């Protein structure tokens, strides 16, 4: 009672009055401190428990490992894991699941997988835990393999399993796997579960089947804000439909969240509709969400695309907390307007603000410098990206450099760059060079680029044909 009310001193006083506290007493006092966010103190009490020769049970391990998850103390977590092994508890499903979650939060996926393999009897919670950890660490294929293994073992998925694995299909656009899982959802009677239905809408939308997402959405009796957001996202390739769905949602009396607003602003950006974007912005202000960083980033992109730089800059200046995504957005807007020097200034400000540029940052700044004709600055930045920030140039970065040389009529430099690229130039890179040759009527370069493009086209067709031949039936 004292612990739940936050009275830690009283709870500890009562505990200290117990002459020989048993495992339940120790577990309760550890839980009290964990519940109140005193993670380090909870760990100290766990150590005191061991010194008192009281053997922890599965609930003790589960609670203390839960505290480790909260503040990602890997060293302490490994110590507790060793204690579990010494006590023969590491093969228990409850303890094993807690260990999986702990290692997962500390991004130690291999350790989590090893723990999972040692559990003697896997329950659905353990399966869900390891699948979730794999998904959180971008290992969707491994998660799918485990899901199918779970089915082979005769274990029935629950709503949590379906929602997680459908999320993997959505993120990696595995439509075929998604359809198989959809069939399992229907056969096991989970279509009425809103969480699972929302995951199906999201999966079909991200796999490019908005109409199928729409069918599922239309069958929902009481769609929530997540349902509406998922269907709006599904129709982002059809922005007018997405905006209409947003209006329908408002008419139903539901309040949009940050992701709903970000999605409808993306639709407005795709249309280049300033008026519709301003209406959404007005709703955002009414809901008091204009300083939300997710929404602010979407607003920046909308105003920047609609050539309202002053409004975009005003929004950016109002935000005191900025992340890399927001900085990338404002730099990209400057790139779209060929403001190379301003983009370079923003890059410097971003670093002064304590944020390290990433691949997207450099793509945007290189593009801005290319469009502005800043050859020396662009070349220096390209070198700095590799040498100082250890970012391996992508095809997109290389395309910016080819575009830079092309715009500056430095076609020989463009050829030299292409031929010395560490990456194999793709169709897009050659298309950029071809456009430059066309612009400056360089016949030799034009014939060279056309020949390479023809070879690439032929090779792509052969690879596509081979891929079709290898598709299992």
Judgement on whether residues 374 and 427 belong to the same structural domain of the protein: no
Judgement on whether residues 298 and 341 belong to the same structural domain of the protein: no
Indicate the burial class of 455 (C-beta count within 10 angstroms; 0-12, 13-18, 19 or more). Answer: exposed
**Residue 267: which domain range?**
256-319
Assess if residue 287 is contained within a domain. yes
Assess if residue 353 is contained within a domain. yes
Query: In this structure, what token pair is assigned to residue 234?
Result: 């599904």
Among residues 319, 342, 365, the one where a domain terminates is: 319
Model confidence, pTM = 0.81
Assess if residue 361 is contained within a domain. yes
Query: In this structure, what token pair is assigned to residue 293?
Result: 């960083």
Give the ranges where 191-339 is alpha helix by DSSP (H): 194-206, 210-218, 225-234, 239-251, 258-271, 274-286, 293-305, 309-318, 324-336
Judgement on whether residues 373 and 413 belong to the same structural domain of the protein: no
Judgement on whether residues 434 and 448 belong to the same structural domain of the protein: yes
Angle value at C-alpha 400, between 419 and 342, nearest 5 degrees = 145
Between helix 395-407 and helix 359-372 the angle, nearest 10°, is: 10
Assess if residue 133 is contained within a domain. no
Judgement on whether residues 400 and 370 belong to the same structural domain of the protein: no
Written as tens digits, the pLDDT of the chain (473 aa) is 444 544 677 878 888 888 888 999 989 999 888 888 888 888 898 889 988 888 999 999 999 888 877 666 788 889 999 999 998 999 999 999 999 999 998 889 999 999 999 999 999 999 999 999 999 998 989 999 999 999 999 999 999 999 999 999 999 999 999 999 999 999 999 999 999 999 999 999 999 999 999 999 999 999 999 999 999 999 999 999 999 999 999 999 999 999 999 999 999 999 999 999 999 999 999 999 999 999 999 999 999 999 899 999 999 999 989 999 999 999 999 999 999 999 999 999 999 999 999 999 999 999 999 999 999 999 999 999 999 999 999 999 999 999 999 888 888 888 889 888 888 887 788 778 777 766 655 555 556 556 655 655 554 434 433 433 443 33
Assess if residue 411 is contained within a domain. yes
Judgement on whether residues 369 and 405 belong to the same structural domain of the protein: no
Taking the C-alpha atoms of residue 57 and residue 71, their distance in angstroms, rounded to an integer, is 22
Among residues 332, 364, 392, the one where a domain terminates is: 392
How many residues belong to the chain?
473
Q: Are 96 and 126 in contact (CB under 8 A)?
A: yes
Among residues 356, 374, 392, the one where a domain terminates is: 392
Query: In this structure, what token pair is assigned to residue 316?
Result: 């950016």
Query: In this structure, what token pair is assigned to residue 230?
Result: 């998922």
Judgement on whether residues 382 and 354 belong to the same structural domain of the protein: yes
Assess if residue 204 is contained within a domain. no
Assess if residue 434 is contained within a domain. yes
Judgement on whether residues 409 and 376 belong to the same structural domain of the protein: no
Judgement on whether residues 431 and 452 belong to the same structural domain of the protein: yes
Domain count of the fold of the chain: 3
């Amino acid at each position: 009672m004292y612990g739940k009310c936050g009275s830690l001193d009283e709870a500890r006083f009562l505990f200290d009055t117990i002459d020989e506290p048993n495992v339940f007493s120790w577990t309760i006092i550890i839980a009290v401190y964990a519940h109140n966010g005193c993670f380090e103190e909870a760990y100290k009490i766990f150590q005191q428990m061991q010194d008192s020769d009281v053997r922890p049970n599965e609930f003790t391990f589960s609670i203390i490992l839960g505290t480790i998850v909260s503040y990602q103390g890997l060293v302490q977590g490994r110590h507790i894991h060793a204690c579990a092994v010494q006590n023969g508890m590491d093969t228990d499903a409850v303890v094993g699941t807690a260990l999986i979650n702990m290692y997962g939060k500390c991004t130690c996926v291999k350790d989590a997988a090893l723990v999972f393999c040692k559990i003697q009897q896997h329950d659905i919670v353990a399966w869900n835990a390891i699948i979730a950890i794999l998904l959180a660490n971008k290992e969707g294929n491994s998660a799918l393999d485990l899901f199918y293994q779970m089915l082979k073992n005769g274990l029935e998925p629950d709503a949590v399993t379906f929602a997680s694995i459908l999320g993997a299909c959505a993120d990696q656009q595995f439509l075929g796997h998604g359809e198989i899982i959809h069939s399992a959802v229907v056969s096991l009677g989970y279509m009425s579960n809103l969480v699972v239905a929302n995951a199906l809408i999201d999966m079909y939308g991200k796999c490019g089947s908005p109409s199928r997402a729409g069918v599922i959405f239309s069958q929902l009796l009481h769609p929530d804000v997540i349902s509406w957001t998922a269907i709006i996202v599904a129709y982002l390739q059809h922005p007018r439909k997405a905006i209409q769905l947003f209006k329908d949602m408002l008419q139903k009396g539901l309040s949009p969240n940050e992701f709903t607003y970000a999605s409808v602003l993306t639709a407005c950006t795709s249309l280049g509709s300033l008026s519709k974007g301003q209406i959404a912005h007005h709703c955002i202000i009414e809901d008091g969400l204009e300083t939300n960083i997710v929404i602010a980033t979407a607003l920046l992109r909308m105003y920047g695309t609609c050539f309202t730089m002053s409004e975009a800059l005003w929004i950016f200046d109002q935000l005191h907390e900025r992340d890399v995504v927001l900085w990338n957005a404002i730099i990209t807007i400057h790139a779209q307007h060929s403001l190379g020097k301003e983009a370079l200034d923003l890059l410097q400000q971003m670093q002064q603000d304590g944020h390290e540029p990433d691949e997207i940052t450099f793509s945007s700044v290189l593009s801005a410098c290319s469009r502005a004709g800043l050859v020396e600055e662009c070349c220096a930045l390209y070198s700095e990206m590799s040498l100082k920030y250890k970012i391996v140039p992508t095809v997109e970065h290389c395309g910016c450099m080819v575009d830079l040389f092309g715009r500056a009529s430095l076609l020989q430099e463009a050829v030299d760059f292409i031929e010395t690229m560490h990456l194999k130039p793709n169709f897009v890179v050659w298309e950029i060079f071809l456009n430059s040759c066309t612009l400056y009527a360089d016949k030799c370069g034009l014939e060279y680029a056309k020949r390479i493009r023809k070879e690439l086209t032929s090779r792509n067709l052969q690879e596509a044909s081979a891929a079709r031949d290898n598709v299992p039936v």
